Structure 1
Amino acid sequence: MPVSDIARATIEGEGVALEVALSREGQGVRVDYRIRNTGAVPLLVFDRGDRHAVLTRRQLSGAVGVPALREDPGGRATLLHVARALPVPPPTVPPTPLARRVDPGTRVDGGFGFSGWLSARPRQVRWCVGIGVADEQRMFSPDATGEVQVWQADFGYADDQQVLCTPWFDMESGTFEA
């Protein structure tokens, strides 16, 4: 793929920098990213799906999870890797958020492809990722059996994570919206 077919962006957050590259991949999109902890406290990155997906073998432990898809007005779609709240009523096996830890001064890389649109391919796509402060009281059951070590995190992160989103990516031109 020519370098010109890849749209790149850097998104700064509180104590974190997200470097991301989006490109078209068939009828879908390819997202490759690097998350750098630029702050003084450890962070959690909620890009590893949920425990229910691992237990039901829809996802390997430690792998990047399949993002949630939200169809937005105007032919837009948002892909979400975020901690989600506990559903009501709670299921027997709850979708406990999985995250990887990023210590101060370190970085992590990831990537995924997505083409599971609910209807026609959207006109524009963006990707959002949730980042939370790593609180030992809210993290449990570390699992290092997969690609990377992941932690289960409490559902409260759904309310207090910071969510970093890319600009809108135009699926026709392969560029970010100006």
Structure 2
Amino acid sequence: MSSTMYSRIRRWFACSLALAAIACAHAQPSSSAEPDPMPADSASDAAGTAKVRGRGVALEAEFAYAGSKRVVTVSYRVHNLSAGPLAVFDRGDRHAVATGRQTAGAIAAPAWRIEGGDVSLSHAAAPLPNPAPVSPPTPLAIRVAAGAQTAGRFEFALPGLDAPKRLRWCLGVAAFEDRDFTAPESAGGVEVWRASFAVVERQQLVCTPWFDVAANGFAAR
């Protein structure tokens, strides 16, 4: 191999590593145990409201984005369409509550990921870290009875300096099975349950379509 060709290969490899480092710096790490977004039927209207249907659940979400503050507001309603109770993972984790980073019973700050100009937000049961900490981030959930619904709202200041092109939000839900949920506590006007990390494997993520910031509406899909 010529010295010129060898130099070109070295420059290409260095640039590839640099680009990978930049991408990692702008995204939260994810676990292989995190479920994929579930394929769902969805619809949207000009008012910025998306309607998504998953297995035994329907989600309505409305987005409002304030460009001057880089803040997105998400208002949502979850309908339990299944024959049994549903666990909704939008209340954070027990460690965050114990350390004062999360108010008991309140809707937690979402996890986030940036890919290019797209920002994905999510509320979901996260897997147990490895190695496991002394005080594990036990997922917290509310219980929605069969045929019932719950509503919530949160605001999130987007990280970074660049304006987002598209936004979406995913919500983790799972069938509420008694063996996986313990220690219910009343806080913030709701009953919050501690979930086993086993629910991470069987939860489904119900995601909104992409919200186009420039068009101020959801993209049809």
Q: TM-score, normalised by structure 2?
A: 0.75
Question: Which residue pairs with 2:6 in the alignment?
Answer: none
Q: Is the 8 A contact 1:63 1:147 kept in 2?
A: no
Aligned partner of 2:85 among 42, 67, 86? 42
Letter in 1 for 2:51: T
| Per-residue deviation, 1:55 | 0.7
| Per-residue deviation, 1:119 | 4.5
Q: Give ranges in structure 2 of 5+ residues lacking alignment.
A: 1-44
Residue 149 of structure 1: SS of its match in structure 2? strand
Is residue 24 of structure 1 aligned with residue 65 of structure 2? yes
Question: Which residue pairs with 2:170 in the alignment?
Answer: 128
Question: Which residue pairs with 1:174 in the alignment?
Answer: 216
- Could you tell me how far apart the structure 1 residues matched to 2:134 and 2:113 are? 25
| Per-residue deviation, 1:116 | 3.5
Aligned partner of 2:144 among 102, 116, 130? 102
Q: Is the 8 A contact 1:6 1:22 kept in 2?
A: no
Question: Which residue pairs with 1:86 in the alignment?
Answer: 128
Question: Which residue pairs with 2:32 in the alignment?
Answer: none
Residue 159 of structure 1: SS of its match in structure 2? helix
For residues 93-146 of structure 1, the C-alpha deviation after alignment (integer angstroms, 9 at most, x for no partner) is: 111100000000110000101114145332111000001010110001111032
Q: Percent identity?
A: 44
Instruction: Answer 1 or 2: which has greater strand percent.
Output: 1
Q: Is the 8 A contact 1:47 1:81 kept in 2?
A: yes
Residue 57 of structure 1: SS of its match in structure 2? coil
Instruction: Answer 1 or 2: which has greater helix percent.
Output: 2
Is residue 55 of structure 1 aligned with residue 85 of structure 2? no
- Could you tell me how far apart the structure 2 residues matched to 1:54 and 1:119 are? 29
- Range that drifts further, 82-91 or 23-32: 23-32
For residues 35-55 of structure 1, the C-alpha deviation after alignment (integer angstroms, 9 at most, x for no partner) is: 011110101000111111111
- Provide closer, same or farther for how the CA distance between residues 86 and 12 of structure 1 changes in structure 2, counting only shifts above 3 A: same
Q: Is the 8 A contact 2:142 2:193 kept in 1?
A: yes
| Per-residue deviation, 1:31 | 0.4
- Could you tell me how far apart the structure 2 residues matched to 1:89 and 1:51 are? 18
**Bigger Rg, which one:** 2
- Could you tell me how far apart the structure 1 residues matched to 2:145 and 2:197 are? 21
Q: Give ranges in structure 1 of 5+ residues lacking alignment.
A: none
Q: Is the 8 A contact 2:85 2:145 kept in 1?
A: yes
The alignment yields a C-alpha RMSD, in angstroms, of 1.5
How many matched pairs? 174
Q: TM-score, normalised by structure 1?
A: 0.92
